[in-house]
């Protein structure tokens, strides 16, 4: 009886927390159908009094939304695809191969997860400057090739795959790359989905690094481009909310499509290893 009451209380708390978390998002979407005068009004209501689609065409007419959107899609998809492959490859090596210094290397990888990313900005920027990669997508993509978090997740998942499958492939004369691509990867779909969702979300909302290394507006990403709605004499909140609403659609689609595999991947990654 106590257990049921406890579960009921927990569900109520989670429901309240969920409503509080979603409420600002709902308000933003509804406000994208308001004019600035209504948004800034002292007597503004939660729901639009005079709904209008004015802000959405305005975003395309006066703002380089499609350019920023395409740049964000290209960079997020490219970086996510690369980090999925490198994370699974490194995870396979660390999980299924025995060599001197393996645990030390894995320890260093875990240590990188404890270093705040802003600490690395200055040395990373200096490297990009010395390579001549500023204002180039190489400065965005190359630093994203390896992810300590992704390697950790894939290593934990692959470690739970029976060694007999790998040994059988080796006995049959298969190369390590063949075993990795034809035996290991097909079994890691759920873990790959988890890594993909996490990193796609991080890369999609990445603001500071693209802001620092990309000077050309035609190469800039949506997260940085949204600041153009804030001008010297005020902020166009209607256009900002409309652009932000459209900007979060890819993230929602990715999560909805891979939600089941994401949950299974995170669950199995926590159990295995």
**What's the pLDDT band for 252 if we cut at 50, 70, 90?**
confident
Q: State the pLDDT at residue 128.
A: 94
Dihedral sign for Cα atoms in the order 124, 144, 182, 273: positive
Question: What CATH homologous superfamily does 58-271 map to?
Answer: MetI-like (1.10.3720.10)
What is the separation, in whole angstroms, between the first and last Cα of the chain? 36
How far apart are alpha carbons 86 and 91 in whole angstroms? 8
Is the pTM above the cut of 0.95? Answer: no
Mean pLDDT in the chain? 87
Q: pLDDT digits over 105-146, tens only?
A: 999 998 988 888 888 999 999 999 999 999 999 999 999 999
Instruction: Look at residue 42 and tell me whether its pLDDT is greater than 70.
Output: no
Q: State the pLDDT at residue 121.
A: 92
Structure-token pair, residue 154: 């894939």
CB-based contacts of 12, cutoff 8 Å, min separation 6:
none
Q: pLDDT digits over 142-195, tens only?
A: 999 999 999 999 999 999 888 898 998 888 888 889 999 999 999 988 889 889
The Cβ of residue 15 has, within 10 Å, a number of other Cβ atoms equal to 10
Smallest CA-to-CA distance from 128 within 205, 67, 210 is with 210
CA angle 230, 45, 226 (to 5 degrees): 20
Average pLDDT (212-237) is: 83
Pair 95, 183: CB distance under 8 Å: no
Continuous segment of H or E residues that includes residue 53: none
Instruction: Look at residue 16 and tell me whether its pLDDT is greater than 80.
Output: yes
| SS3 of residue 114 by DSSP | coil
- Burial grade of 203 (CB within 10 A; 0-12, 13-18, 19 or more): buried
Q: State the pLDDT at residue 273.
A: 46
Please report, to the nearest 10 degrees, the dihedral formed by the alpha carbons of residues 53, 255, 141, 221 taken in order. Answer: 10
Instruction: Look at residue 258 and tell me whether its pLDDT is greater than 80.
Output: no
């Amino acid at each position: 009886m106590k257990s049921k009451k406890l579960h009921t209380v927990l569900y109520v708390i989670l429901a309240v927390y969920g409503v509080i978390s979603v409420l600002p998002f709902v308000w933003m979407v509804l406000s994208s159908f308001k004019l600035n005068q209504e948004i800034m009004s002292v007597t503004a209501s939660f729901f639009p009094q005079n709904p209008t689609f004015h802000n959405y065409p305005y975003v395309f007419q006066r703002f380089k939304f499609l350019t920023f959107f395409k740049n964000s899609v290209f960079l997020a998809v490219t970086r996510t695809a690369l980090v999925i492959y490198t994370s699974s490859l490194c995870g396979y090596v660390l999980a299924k191969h025995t060599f001197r210094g393996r645990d030390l290397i894995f320890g260093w990888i875990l240590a990188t997860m404890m270093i705040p990313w802003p600490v690395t900005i200055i040395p990373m920027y200096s490297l990009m400057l010395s390579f001549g990669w500023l204002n180039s997508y190489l400065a965005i993509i190359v630093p994203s090739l390896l992810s300590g978090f992704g390697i950790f997740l894939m290593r934990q998942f692959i470690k739970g795959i029976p060694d007999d499958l790998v040994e059988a492939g080796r006995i049959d004369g298969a190369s390590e790359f063949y075993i990795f691509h034809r035996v290991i990867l097909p079994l890691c779909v759920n873990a790959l989905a988890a890594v993909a969702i996490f990193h796609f979300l991080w890369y999609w909302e990445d603001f500071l690094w693209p802001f620092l290394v990309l000077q050309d507006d035609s190469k800039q990403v949506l997260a940085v481009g949204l600041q153009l709605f804030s001008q010297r004499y005020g902020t166009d909140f209607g256009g900002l909310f409309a652009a932000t609403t459209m900007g979060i659609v890819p993230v929602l689609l990715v999560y909805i499509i891979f939600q089941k595999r994401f949950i299974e991947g995170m669950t199995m990654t926590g159990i295995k290893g």
